[in-house]
Amino acid sequence: MIIQPGSASTAVKTAVSAFLSPSPAARAAKNTDTVTISPAARDALLASTVATAANSTDARLAEIKAKDAMSRSAEDMDYLYAHDPKLAAISDKLSKNPGSLTSAELDYQQKTLGFVNTMAYLSPTEKGLYDKAVASGNLQAAAGINQIAFIRTMGHMAGGADGTTYDPVNTEITPENIEKYFSHSIVDPSGKAETQFQALIQYLHNNPASA
């Protein structure tokens, strides 16, 4: 028997090709099947994505801030400065004008960086006094107030003049109390702390309404 070229084998190939290749109509339908999304759905998807990213950032920031300063890595600190706009702004202000932070800014910086939170030991009135000293440009007097706040972080007993003891937490910031108590609670051979205390005493004398 002689098999003519292209008879049975060609028919099989043609059938397979027809099965595997979509018709022109099918191809046209496939090319026109476009998935669309409404503006409202697109906005909702974008908002969801942004919210997820924000939640992730907030969670990471909270995790870092929960650590004390000694437990934080360099990576933690870099993340804080990169993702906490308020801290970044405060740091920028401080670098341009050292000592210019308000009590609220200093409080935020101390808490965020895990430092000793001296501002927590000042009353609202004392924080107001600190802010007035900063605003007037008397940074030495403001530093004196911060020294007193630092003394208070040590507890309810500190040493004053002539071997006396006192409760720094409940002792008011007045010229007399600075002279008799606070100025004797910090040992500073450089004399810097004493200079700050004297600046604060003079500031209070010049601004009696602030005392």
Q: pLDDT tens, 41-98? A: 666 666 666 556 668 899 999 999 999 889 999 999 999 999 999 999 999 999 999 8
When divided into structural domains, the chain yields a total of 2
Q: Is residue 206 part of a domain?
A: yes
Q: Are 147 and 182 in contact (CB under 8 A)?
A: yes
Residues 134 and 205 in one domain: yes
Give the dihedral of Cα atoms 90, 95, 97, 101; nearest 10 deg.
30
The DSSP code for 3 is P
Q: Which two tokens stand for residue 8?
A: 């049975």
Cα–Cα distance between 64 and 76 in angstroms, integer?
A: 6
Residues 136 and 197 in one domain: yes
Buried b (16+ CB within 10 A) or exposed e, 47-69: eeeeeeeeeeeeeebeebbeeee
Residues 141 and 206 in one domain: yes
Helix axes 124-135, 139-152, angle to 10 degrees: 150
Residues 89 and 176 in one domain: no
Residue 37: predicted pLDDT: 74
**Residue 153, domain extent:** 116-211
State which residues of the chain have pLDDT below 70: 1-35, 41-54, 209-211
Residues 82 and 157 in one domain: no
Residues β-bridged to residue 159: 165
Residues 96 and 125 in one domain: no
Residue 8: predicted pLDDT: 43
Residues 78 and 158 in one domain: no
Residues 211 and 128 in one domain: yes
Domain boundary among 53, 71, 100: 100
pTM over 0.75: no
For residue 160, what are the contacts with CB-CB under 8 A and spacing of at least 6? 166, 180, 181, 184, 185
Residues 160 and 88 in one domain: no
Residue 72: predicted pLDDT: 93
Residue 38: predicted pLDDT: 77
Residue 145: predicted pLDDT: 98
For 100, phi and psi rounded to 5 degrees? -90, 0
Q: Is residue 53 part of a domain?
A: yes
Residues 81 and 127 in one domain: no
* Nearest alpha carbon to residue 178 among 195, 200, 163: 200
Residue 91: predicted pLDDT: 95
Residues 165 and 198 in one domain: yes
